[in-house]
């Protein structure tokens, strides 16, 4: 039960649901309710902190899912106060008037420190000697294989692997987690999921907005690092990996790494790059192109759209193209995985059959459906396409990754080997792009 709508369907109040979860967490000894826990948040003045992290910690606190004595220390270069932090994040906290007192209580447990270096200082001055310490790291994990290795070596010289949680927030999404269950708990899917049956696998990420507000960061990284090498590659691993020996984090990581090792570096001739331009027929932000942002270097060739084809050299997937597509400033918000099956053999329906597809829609409106041909109703004997639909009516909350850290579960976090392999696949392409600066194809905002 992950949200209030589902709770309502089950005739439980959200308070009752939270109580059940609290029992699971506290009495199941996932962590000790009476211990003091301190969350130190680096980059506390930034976009991610105000939009996602403060709201997440607040929701967990509001619903009683954190140990009672949990305190948050914000840390960043900017000289701010807790009041500034509260002001920035308040629009995203979605607190109701009745929750006002609780929100006050939440912010009395917050403090803020301004400063420069971080992991080294934590290691030297902030480590709890009596309890546990866990470090959550958010991307970018470097810019290429070398810088990522440097970062990994630095972090692992200070902390043990079991203290390090490299987060990819896509792994916290309900449908991404569902990929493993769909695949390994359903014989029908597992037996047909190989090159014999599958024509291609398409992984898509689309956003309707541009890089407004974080163009500076984006221009240094580009869409391949920002989304393809991270979120889409993680989803690909879950679609393509073999069944792990168990759902234990180490076993899952082993299989993900094995699959990544079978992927050779992306070939430049298998990549299409694009950059959005303003649409004069629209209003507001959509009239501005990527390059209209005054903070960007003149004539930037950073891609805001990328499509790439990856191949896996292993028995199951030999020759099957995995098509990864990601873009800013398109017509809609969508993330999905689409397995397209091969055409039916000896088509007796005179070419009227379309390919079957298994679609896992990650967002919005989570859904799993199969596109298949059935007989057209009535006198006809013609096939028509219909959908076997397992639509999930609800949207789910994404606080689970932070709770996983409290509960010491690393399954939905990246291990250092995964990071290394992910960078190995993309680094030659990224270096080539940096040297040759290929001109991305312009596309219209909202197209
Ligand atoms: C982030 C990217 O990792 O994911 C952003 O840096 C992107 O550019 C975001 O907008 C998308 O996340 P979500 O959960 O809104 O799909």
Does residue 27 carry a pLDDT above 80?
Answer: no
Inform me whether the pLDDT recorded for 393 exceeds 70. no
- For the chain, domains (ranges, CATH) are 14-133 (3.40.50.720), 174-393+417-444 (3.30.360.10)
- The answer to whether residue 87 scores a pLDDT higher than 70 is yes
Convert the pLDDT of each residue in 288-346 to its tens digit. 999 999 888 899 999 999 999 999 999 999 999 999 999 999 999 999 999 999 998 87
| Section 77-85 average pLDDT | 91
Q: What is the mean pLDDT of residues 365-380?
A: 87
Q: How much is the pLDDT for 398?
A: 57
Tokens of 241: 């990996």
Element (H, E) at 275: strand 271-277
- Give the strand pairing for 322-327 and 198-206: parallel
Quick check: 33 pLDDT over 90?
A: no
Out of 148-152, 163-167, 188-192, pick the least confident.
Answer: 188-192
Q: Which of 167, 227, 228, 230 to mutate to test the pocket of ligand 1 (most atoms within 8 A of CB)?
A: 227
pLDDT digits (tens, 9 = 90+) for 266-288: 999 999 999 999 999 998 999 99
Residue 226 Cβ < 6 Å to ligand 1: yes
CA distance 193 to 288: 43
Tokens (6 digits) for 194 = 């190989």
> In the prediction, which pLDDT does 275 show?
98
Among 37, 160, 169, 231, which one carries the catalytic annotation?
231
Task: Answer with the residue of higher pLDDT: 23 or 57.
Answer: 57
Among 169, 216, 223, 366, which is best to mutate for testing ligand 1, by the most ligand atoms less than 8 A from CB? 169
What is the pTM (predicted TM-score) of this model?
Answer: 0.87
Q: Is 197 a catalytic residue?
A: no
pLDDT of residue 395 exceeding 70? no
Residue closest via CA to ligand 1's atom 15 equals: 207
Summarize the confidence of residues 244-257 as an average pLDDT.
94
Q: Please report the pLDDT score of residue 394 as a whole number.
A: 52
Q: Is the model's pLDDT at 7 over the cut of 70?
A: no
Q: What is the pLDDT of residue 396?
A: 47
Which residues does 392 contact at the CB level (< 8 Å), separation at least 6? 174, 175, 365, 366, 367, 368
Query: Please, what is the average pLDDT of the chain?
Result: 89
The pLDDT > 70 percentage for the chain reads 94
pLDDT digits (tens, 9 = 90+) for 194-211: 778 999 999 999 999 999
Q: Which atom of ligand 1 is nearest to the CA of 209?
A: 10
Indicate whether 21 pLDDT > 80. no
Q: Which residue has the higher pLDDT, 426 or 77?
A: 426
Position 47 pLDDT exceeds 90? no
Is the distance from CB of 185 to CB of 368 less than 8 angstroms? no
Residue 160, burial from CB neighbour count under 10 angstroms (0-12, 13-18, 19+): exposed
Q: Which residue from 53, 207, 211, 395 has its CB within 8 A of the most atoms of ligand 1, so it is best to mutate? A: 207
pLDDT at 244: 95
What pLDDT is stored for residue 193 in this prediction?
74
In this prediction, residues 214-243 reach a mean pLDDT of: 93
CA of 328 to the centre of ligand 1 (A): 10
Would you state the structure tokens that stand for residue 248, as one six-digit string?
Answer: 């234990």
pLDDT band at 8 (very low <50, low <70, confident <90, very high): low
Res 213 pLDDT > 80: no
Nearest atom of ligand 1 to the alpha carbon of 230: 3
Average pLDDT of the segment spanning 57-73: 90
Other Cβ atoms within 10 Å of 13 Cβ, number: 11
Nearest ligand 1 atom to alpha carbon 170: 14
């Amino acid at each position: 039960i992950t949200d209030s709508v589902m709770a309502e369907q089950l005739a439980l109040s959200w308070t009752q649901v939270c109580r059940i979860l609290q029992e699971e967490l506290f009495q199941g000894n996932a962590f000790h309710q009476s211990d003091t826990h301190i969350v130190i948040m680096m980059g506390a003045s930034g976009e991610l902190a105000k939009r996602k992290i403060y709201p997440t910690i607040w929701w967990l606190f509001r619903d009683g899912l954190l140990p009672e004595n949990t305190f948050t220390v914000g840390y960043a270069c900017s000289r701010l106060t807790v009041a500034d932090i509260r002001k920035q994040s308040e629009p995203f906290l979605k607190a109701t008037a009745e929750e006002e007192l609780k929100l006050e209580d939440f912010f009395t447990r917050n403090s803020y420190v301004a400063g420069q270096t971080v992991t080294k200082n934590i290691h030297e001055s902030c480590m709890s000697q009596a309890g546990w310490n866990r470090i959550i790291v958010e991307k970018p994990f470097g810019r290429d294989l070398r810088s990522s290795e440097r970062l990994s070596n630095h972090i692992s010289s200070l902390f043990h692997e079991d203290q390090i949680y490299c987060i990819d927030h896509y792994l916290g999404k309900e449908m991404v987690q569902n990929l493993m269950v769909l695949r390994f708990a359903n014989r029908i899917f597992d037996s047909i999921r190989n090159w014999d049956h599958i024509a291609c696998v398409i992984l898509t990420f689309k956003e309707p907005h541009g890089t407004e507000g974080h163009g500076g960061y984006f221009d240094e990284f580009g869409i391949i690092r920002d989304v393809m090498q991270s979120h889409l590659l993680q989803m690909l691993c879950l679609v393509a990996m073999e069944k792990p020996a168990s759902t234990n984090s180490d076993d899952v990581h082993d299989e993900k790494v094995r699959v990544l090792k079978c992927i050779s570096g992306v070939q430049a001739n298998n990549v299409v790059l694009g950059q959005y331009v303003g649409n004069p027929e629209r209003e507001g932000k959509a009239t501005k192109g990527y390059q209209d942002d005054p903070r960007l270097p003149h004539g930037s060739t950073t891609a805001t759209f990328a499509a790439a084809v990856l191949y896996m050299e292993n028995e199951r997937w030999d020759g099957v193209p995995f098509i990864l597509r990601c873009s800013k400033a398109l017509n809609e918000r969508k993330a999905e995985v689409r397995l397209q099956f091969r055409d039916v053999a000896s088509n007796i329906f005179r070419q009227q059959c379309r390919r079957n597809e298994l679609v896992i829609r990650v967002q919005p409106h989570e859904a799993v459906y199969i596109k298949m041909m059935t007989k057209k109703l009535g006198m006809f004997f013609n096939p028509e396409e219909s959908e076997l639909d397992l639509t999930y009516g609800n949207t789910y909350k994404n606080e689970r990754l932070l709770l996983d850290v409290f509960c010491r579960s690393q399954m939905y976090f990246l291990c250092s080997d995964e990071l290394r392999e992910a960078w190995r696949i993309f680094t030659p392409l990224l270096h080539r792009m940096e040297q040759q600066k290929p001109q991305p194809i312009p596309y219209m905002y909202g197209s």
